[in-house]
Every structure is written in C-alpha cells, then in structure tokens.
Structure 1
Amino acid sequence: MNPHGSTQGNSGIVNMGGSNSFTNTVVGNEAHMTVSPNTAEALGTRTAPGGGERRRDVGVVTILPTEMRAVLDELGLDRPRKKEGLFFSTGDIPTDSGTASVVATRTHGPGQRSVMAALDHMRHHFAPRLWVLVGIGGGLHHGYNRDEGPTRAGNVIVSTRIVYYDARKITTGDRVQRRGEERQAPARIVHAVNAYFTDQGEPAMIRGRVDGHRKRSFEVHHGLIGSGEAVIADGDSEVRHWLRDYNDKVLAVDMESGGLSQFWQENSVRGEGDPGWLVVRGISDGANAEKDDGAHGLAAYNAAHVVRELLPYLL
C-alpha cells in the first residue's frame, strides 16, 4: 500500500478495519518502509540534498575571521571541520523555544558573488531553514552625530529589507543613473523580528559584550541596509547621497546582503523548501575617510550576540 506518499512492503497482515491505529509501522519478514520527505521533515530526520548531514535550522554566513570567531564564541559552536574541502562549524543551541541546530561557514572572500557561492555550499550540505548573514557594516549617519544615534560604532542593525545600489546606467559625460533594487525577507521572518523588538523595545538596549565596553550598552535597530560591491570611505560620496534620497531609513552598508537576497529569490522555486533570510550587522565605522579596523571586534561580537537573542523568535 502507498498512503500519503510512503511506500511499504511486508509479508504480514494489514488491518484496514476496527479502531486500531498504526503510524509509520510495517510488520513481517523483510518488512521495509520508505518515508516521504514530508513525513521525514515532520519527524526532524530529513537530510540535506548532499546526504549524510541532517538538515539544520539556521545557517550562518560570515566573511572576516573576526566575524567567524564571534559567531563561534557567542553561539557556542564547534570548531570548523572539513567536509568535501569546505569548513563548517555546527552546534545545537538551547533556547526558550526549543533547541536550534546551527551551521556556520565563511565565504571565500568579500562581495556578492562569494556569499552566493557559500550559500549554495551550505544549502547542498545542510539545507538550513533560515540563512543569517552576520558581521560588520558601515554606518550611514544621515545627519546624526557620529558618536550618537542608531549608527554609533558597536550598535547593531537587524535588517529584513535590502537595497542593492550597484545596478546603474552610465550616460554621456559619465553621468550615473542608479537603478536600485529592493528585496524584503519572507513575512514570517519580518513577524519574528517585529516580535523581538516588541519584547525588547526599539531600540533594544544590550549590555556591552567586549572588554572595555561592558559598562556601556549598545543599541539594536531594525532598519534597511544598502548593499553593493564598493567599499565606501567618503562621507560625501554619491552613493551615500543616493541611498539617503532613496530612503532615509537605510542605516548601514555592506558588500554581501544583495547577494544573499538575490540568491534567496532565485532559489525560492526549489521544491525542497524555501528558507527565510536575515541580515545582522554591527556598526564598525562611519563609511567615511576615518574608516579603519579598530571597532571590528566590537561590532562583530555585538552582532553575533544579537543573533543568539533572535533565535527563539526565528525558530
């Protein structure tokens, strides 16, 4: 018999009457059962398309070594181990909503293309239900004092909307006409993030995670992130002006979020389940001439801690 997509074989007896109820059970000599993907999903035993690894709840992608170390420390993941020439860290994290199974990896390098390749490797080996891009980003102050407001160094931006700014047309006289693209995370992820800020307040205030900053709380904001291939180190750049005019709620910039949202959109037609996505960026600099690496650790650890706090809402 073949109920609900499963196949069974046995040499025993199947009783279709009475009040008995048997679930996922076969009886008899050389009995066997092939469970449908939907049933395996419900039982929590489904493996990723690459085989050999169970599917994970959350897949975390980082770019820099500092970002990966922060994720390992804040989430308590195992040290990276090799799988088919790639390195992944895994762990099971207890939360108020249950245990979250997490896998994390680094991209080959910075940029949109590299993050798309990393996501494809992770999807193949672990098929996470949620992708989270976590690390550092440059803050766009839009008139705020550099030491105040949402984009002070160490603050964290949680983003469910990405503005890709690099699509453009160059006309006579090298005039640039930008053709921005905006994508939003699935509704269930937006609702989860909204619930977090309802509970924690907006901005959420969290005690510092890094030595030298533990006495000062950092802020967590829900806002847009602008993404492109350019490293912005000019406080008066044309890109900053365009993003401000596009939407003054664009609070930070990075070089990978556009690739994440694009990869998700183009793979949302796959039949193996459509994951959600989220971006969490700690502000490390003001995306201006004073840009340096001094606050990378502060921003990375704060961002990784916020991911840990979001897990109960995202499960």
Structure 2
Amino acid sequence: MSDRPAHNTALEVSGGTVSIGGNVHAVQHNHSTEPQRHPSGPAPGGTPSGPAERSADVGILTVLWEEMAAVVEVLRQTPDHRVEQVYGGGTVHRATFSAEGGPVRVVAMQALEPGTHSAALGYQQLRRRFAPPFVLLVGIAGGIRADVAVGDVVLSDEVIWYDSRRETEHGPRRRGRIQATAPVLRHRINDFLVRHGPVVRPGPGDLHDGVPGTGFRLHRGPIGSGNAVVTDTSSDIRSWLAEVHEKTLAVETEASGMAQAFYEEIDDDHELRGWLTVRGISDRADRHKGHADHQLAARHAALTVQWLLPYLRPAEGPR
C-alpha cells in the first residue's frame, strides 16, 4: 500500500485555481517536570543542520499556550513523561503510550507564534530533531458549518489554503490549494472512528471539562487555513470555502503551512508517513469570537489525540 498523497490536480473555482494534492490507559504522572538541557545542546540524534535518527513515532505541534497545556496534561498521565530543552531554547515534552503491537513514542513542542510560516518551521524542527513518521497539529479552530458545535473536535483529512489570491477591481480572485492527508492516515482514522464512533463521552479517568457525562462530537472533513483570522459570517473567505467544498468544517491559521512543509519533504524522506490536524472548536468564526472556550476546545482536542495515538504506531518492516 502506498502512503504517499495523490498527485496535484487543477480545478477552476470562482476565477481562481484550486490545486488538489497532495485505548491509551496511561496510569501515573511523572512528577519530574523540570526542563533538562541535553548536555551536547541539540536533542539526541539531531544537530541544528543535520537529520535525526527516529526517536519519536508521533510528533505533536501546538501554537497557543492553552493547546500546549492540554497536550501536556495528556502526556503527564504516562509513567515516563519528561521535559527537555533543545538547542535554540525550545522546550519539548516526551512520553510513551501503550498500543497493540508495541509502544508509541510521542514528542510535543509549541510553535513560536501563530500563522502558517511559524507552523511550517515548527514542523521542520520536529522532523529534523526527532524524525517522527507522523505529525499532528493539535489545537483549536472556528467552526463554520451549522452542525459543528463549540467543544466538538474536527479530524481534518483535507486542508484548503485560502490566502493566495489576485486583487482586482471586482474584488479578490482566490487561488487556493487543497492538500489531503496520506492514505495510511486515512485508514487509521477509519479504524479510530469505527472503534469510537462520532460521539465521545469521556470516562472518569479522562481529561475533560469537569462535567460528568459531558460528551462532544467528532467530525471528519476539510478545514480552511490561512493567515487571515475570520470573525465575520459574511466573510468572502467563508463564502469562497463553501463554494470550493460545501463540507468545509472550520477555519484556522496553521494547517496549510504544515501541509505544505510535508508536501515538499515527502519525496526526500521515505520514512515520512503523514500529517493530521486535530482541532477543538472554540468559536463560530463570527463577531462573538473570543477566548472563553479556548481551554475547553483544547482539552477536547488533546483527549481525542490521547485516544488516537494507539492507532498511529508505525508499521515495521519493508514497505
């Protein structure tokens, strides 16, 4: 089975061109959370300029502090959670989760700032230092479809980049790109959803919003991504996304950067398997957008990742 994304195809939309391309049961909290600097500077196996030996199976990238805090709470439930400071001053969290067939080694780090460029650089740092075959972008997004509620989680297997455009006297003519996750990850998402279904009800030992029995829904589908923050229901971006793909679920500001970085690397690294965006819905991408539900959405996204990790153990052996 090939793990590589499909080749790009061109699609004319609204005056522009759209390219189509591309049960964890952790038990203990490790109380040692003081950052540890690796004595030689860079993380083991990597240098500031050279490739790393694979020291993680899944890399997690976040942007906001609420997103990173929620991911860290999940990682702290494992017995071997540890914190390291890497070359350049960044902090990474590492942990190992149990899965059928063997452990899943996870490394998580936070991008320096919001936006597609910082996300692409964060992805490259994860890959260069730890070489994880899978990379997850985990955090929050604004829902733009009626059936996607605040607190729900979107598993995005397609990213629609909405930034590229030509400005004309008649308004912008957008030239977006659609990039899809690799087939291997789509199969893993299928298995995950067959097991868990579309409605999630956290158990007493799970990280959740503190309300017993509170559930949220999982959605799978495309999201829009670009550097523009959307806070208007009449936004040209929202209208264009609905025209490009009527099932677009949410908007955010990092996934297209990570997807492009993956796309440009895939032919150079045969161990690279895929990327996935996991987004908790924190608002409706309208004038009421704010910070009130950031932590709720981030916790739900992190909890979903906790359940998803056992499905992401890379297959060993020849391919």
TM-score class normalised by the smaller sequence: 0.7 to 0.9
Residue 188 (structure 2) pairs with residue 192 (structure 1): yes
Q: Count matched residues.
A: 261
Offset at residue 95 of structure 1 (A): 2.4
Which stretch shows the higher mean deviation, 50-59 or 277-286?
50-59
Aligned partner (choices 171, 176, 183) of residue 172 of structure 2 = 176
SS state of the match for residue 239, structure 1?
A: helix
Q: For residues 52 and 255 of structure 1, do their structure 2 counterparts lie closer, same or farther at Cα, with a shift above 3 Å needed?
A: closer
* Structure 1 Cα separation of the partners of residues 137 and 269 of structure 2: 23
**TM-score, normalisation: structure 1:** 0.78
* Structure 2 Cα separation of the partners of residues 220 and 271 of structure 1: 31
Q: For residues 79 and 290 of structure 1, do their structure 2 counterparts lie closer, same or farther at Cα, with a shift above 3 Å needed?
A: farther
| Partner residue, 1:94 | 98
SS state of the match for residue 103, structure 2?
A: strand
**TM-score, normalisation: structure 2:** 0.77
Letter in 1 for 2:168: T
Offset at residue 274 of structure 1 (A): 2.1
* Structure 2 Cα separation of the partners of residues 211 and 159 of structure 1: 23
Which stretch shows the higher mean deviation, 182-191 or 192-201?
192-201
| Partner residue, 1:153 | 150
Offset at residue 200 of structure 1 (A): 2.0
| Partner residue, 2:20 | none
Report Cα offsets for 1:17-60 as digits up to 9, x if no partner: xxxxxxxxxxxxxxxxxxxxxxxxxxxxx945757875210000
Residue 74 (structure 2) pairs with residue 57 (structure 1): no
Aligned partner (choices 162, 167, 187) of residue 164 of structure 2 = 167
SS state of the match for residue 98, structure 1?
A: coil
SS state of the match for residue 92, structure 2?
A: strand
Greater helix proportion: 1
Root mean square deviation, CA, Å: 2.0
Report Cα offsets for 1:253-274 as digits up to 9, x if no partner: 1100000110000011214522
Offset at residue 199 of structure 1 (A): 2.0
Percent of matched pairs sharing the same residue: 36
| Partner residue, 2:8 | none
| Partner residue, 1:125 | 129
Structure exhibiting the larger radius of gyration computed from Cα positions = 1
Letter in 2 for 1:166: D
Q: For residues 291 and 135 of structure 1, do their structure 2 counterparts lie closer, same or farther at Cα, with a shift above 3 Å needed?
A: same
| Partner residue, 1:204 | 199
* Structure 2 Cα separation of the partners of residues 185 and 299 of structure 1: 23
Summarize the alignment of residues 38-77 of structure 1 with structure 2, pairs less than 5 Å apart: 47=45, 50=50, 54-76=54-76
Q: For residues 271 and 283 of structure 1, do their structure 2 counterparts lie closer, same or farther at Cα, with a shift above 3 Å needed?
A: closer
| Partner residue, 1:282 | 280
Residue 247 (structure 2) pairs with residue 243 (structure 1): no
* Structure 2 Cα separation of the partners of residues 256 and 217 of structure 1: 27
* Structure 1 Cα separation of the partners of residues 263 and 216 of structure 2: 32
Report Cα offsets for 1:67-117 as digits up to 9, x if no partner: 111101113373542111222111111123421101100001000000111
| 8 Å Cα contact 1:60-1:133 kept in structure 2 | yes
Q: For residues 97 and 232 of structure 1, do their structure 2 counterparts lie closer, same or farther at Cα, with a shift above 3 Å needed?
A: farther
SS state of the match for residue 160, structure 1?
A: strand
Offset at residue 248 of structure 1 (A): 1.8
| 8 Å Cα contact 2:52-2:131 kept in structure 1 | no
Structure 2 gap ranges (5+): 1-43, 314-319
Which stretch shows the higher mean deviation, 186-195 or 71-80?
71-80
